[in-house]
Amino acid sequence: MAESQPREEPERNDLQPDSAESHPEPADSASVPMSVEERLIEVAYGAAQMAYAPYSGLKVGAAVQTAEGDIHTGCNVENASYGLTVCAERNAVARMVEAGGRLIRRVAVVTDKMGAVAPCGACLQVIAEFGGADTEVVIIDETGTAVAVPISTLLPKQFRL
């Protein structure tokens, strides 16, 4: 029996948004340095492309930036048994933890559909577990504008042991 070769996966942080049409770049983007927030949004869109969302059709991507500046991405992975679906944010946090990260500075959450998508309660709690009161959650509002919201605003009564 022939031994199967492992598939090479693309580097998640190098993925590009789905199309320049839906997420246009400034005309002179080559001369304008990208902010950390813009980079997080860009790689989150790349992660969303990899989502497995055959039931909802909603592809979500997340990018987590650690206190050290490292970026980890995740996408939603749906399951026919809906309770087994894992959100993009929790997958990104899991990748961060696996890489040794323990403190989240900011998280960007995007979808392939227009309109705001904020993390669900479970994801907010997981982000809060590894974040501080100043941890930012960056979402894209209905107009396509990035809005940074402190985790303490989205989840004011975090569960703590």
According to the model, what pLDDT value does residue 30 have? 55
Exposure on the CB side of residue 151, measured as CA atoms within 13 A: 25
According to the model, what pLDDT value does residue 86 have? 98
Q: Examine residue 19 and state whether it is found in any structural domain, yes or no.
A: no
Q: Examine residue 91 and state whether it is found in any structural domain, yes or no.
A: yes
Which CATH number covers residue 72? 3.40.140.10
Question: Which of the 8 DSSP states describes residue 84?
Answer: G
pTM of the model: 0.79
Q: Examine residue 76 and state whether it is found in any structural domain, yes or no.
A: yes
Q: Examine residue 14 and state whether it is found in any structural domain, yes or no.
A: no
pLDDT in tens, the chain (161 residues): 444 444 344 343 333 333 333 333 444 445 578 899 999 999 999 999 999 999 999 999 999 999 999 999 999 999 999 999 999 999 999 999 999 999 999 999 999 887 778 999 999 999 999 999 899 999 998 888 999 999 999 999 999 88
Residues marked active site are found at 89
Q: Which tokens hold the place of 42?
A: 């860009």
Residue with tokens 């933890």, as numbered in its chain:
97
According to the model, what pLDDT value does residue 31 have? 59
Phi/psi of residue 111, each to 5°? -135, 165
Exposure on the CB side of residue 150, measured as CA atoms within 13 A: 8
Q: Examine residue 23 and state whether it is found in any structural domain, yes or no.
A: no
According to the model, what pLDDT value does residue 116 have? 76
Q: Which tokens hold the place of 14?
A: 């190098």
Tally of structural domains, the chain: 1
Q: How many other CB atoms sit within 10 Å of the CB of residue 136?
A: 21
Q: Examine residue 161 and state whether it is found in any structural domain, yes or no.
A: no
Q: Examine residue 11 and state whether it is found in any structural domain, yes or no.
A: no
**Boundaries of domain holding 42:** 34-154
Q: Examine residue 24 and state whether it is found in any structural domain, yes or no.
A: no
